[in-house]
Amino acid sequence: MENPASARRGFVNLLLGGGIGAMMVSVFYPVIRYLIPPQSGEPTTANVTLPWKPSEIRTNSGRIFRFGSQPGILVRTPGGELRAFSAVCTHLNCTVQYRDEKQDIWCACHNGVYDLNGKNVSGPPPRPLEPYKTYVKGEQIVVSKGA
């Protein structure tokens, strides 16, 4: 009578002990992972770090980057200055691009043209491009909203 009872007791203790151990893992694993900060570090709604080094951006060139789900355009003017704007055309929201032969920003959809201050100079766009602030931190370029 004793042995089956103590064997069963042993089994229950093992089940309980093992189960509690597994449960602790399934609780603490998510918590530990949660505590480790993710790659992006912070919400990228107010600012974003670009994947290029300042030296990679040639003068008189521009490239599109992603700011959340919206496009932005990073420009190095012929004078060497780094500037960034929203790349959403103020006419009908197409994505604009840099034109090095004209040294301006152009929207292919309806031929809208912006100067390198983001100002709408010709074509349908009714407003300038929203300007962003750029900071160069060593080998990193950081763009933030609210210029």
Partner 1 sequence: MAPPRLVQALTAWLDERVNLGEIQEFIRHKVVPVHRHTVWYYFGGMTLFLFAIQVCTGILLLLYYRPSAEEAYESVQFIVTEVQFGWLIRSIHSWSANLMIATLMIHLFSVYFTQAYRKPRELTWVSGMFLLGLALFFGFSGYLLPWNTLAYFATKVGTDVAGQVPVMGHLLTRILRGGEDVTGATLSRFYGIHVAILPLLTTGILGLHLFLVQKQGMSVPVELEQGGHPPKTMPFFPNFLLRDLVGWLTALAVLAALAAYFPWELGSKADPYAPAPAGIRPEWYFMFMFQTLKYIPAKLGPIDGELVGVMGFGLGGLFLLLVPFLDRRSGRGERSPLFFWIGVGLVLYIAVLSVLGYVAPGGG
Partner 2 sequence: MPWKWRLLLASMLAAPLLTLAAVAGAQKLPEDNACIQCHQGLGDARVTPPAEKFAQDIHLAKGILCQDCHGGDPTSFDPQQAMSRAKGFIGRPTHQAIPRLCGKCHSDADYMKRFNPSLRVDQLQEYFTSVHGKLLKKGDQKVATCISCHDVHRIRAIKDQQAWTYPVRVVDTCGRCHGDPKYMAGYNIPTDVVAKYKQSVHYEALTKKGDLSAPTCNVCHGNHGAAPPGVGSVANVCGTCHSVPADLFAKSPHRKAFAAMGLAPCVTCHSNHDVMKTSDAMVGTTDKAVCVNCHPADSAGFKQAGAMRASLDGLRESIQGATAILDQAENAGMEISQARFELRGATDTLLKARAAIHLVDPATIQSLTEEGNKIAATTRTKGAKALEDLAFRHRGLWVSVGVILLVIVGLVLKIREMNQRQEREPASDRRG
Interface contacts to partner 1, rule CB under 8 A = 23, 30-31, 33-40, 42-43, 45-46
b/e for 100-138, b at 16 or more Cβ within 10 A? eeeebbbbeeeebbbebebebeeeebeebbbbbebeeee
- Please choose which of partner 2, partner 1, none residue 124 contacts, taking the beta carbon within 5 to 8 angstroms, the exact cut-off set by kind: partner 2
Please pick, from the candidates 53, 58, 110, 133, the single residue that binds partner 2 as defined by CB under 8 A. 110
Instruction: Report in angstroms the alpha-carbon separations of 111 from 75, 83, 120, 132.
Output: 19, 22, 11, 23
Stretch near partner 2 under the rule CB under 8 A, chosen from 50-58, 77-85, 88-96, 133-141: 88-96
Which amino acid is residue 61, in one-letter code?
A: S
126 binds partner 2 (CB under 8 A): yes
Per CB under 8 A, residues contacting partner 2 are: 8-9, 12, 15-16, 18-20, 22-23, 26, 66, 68-71, 92-95, 108-111, 123-124, 126-127
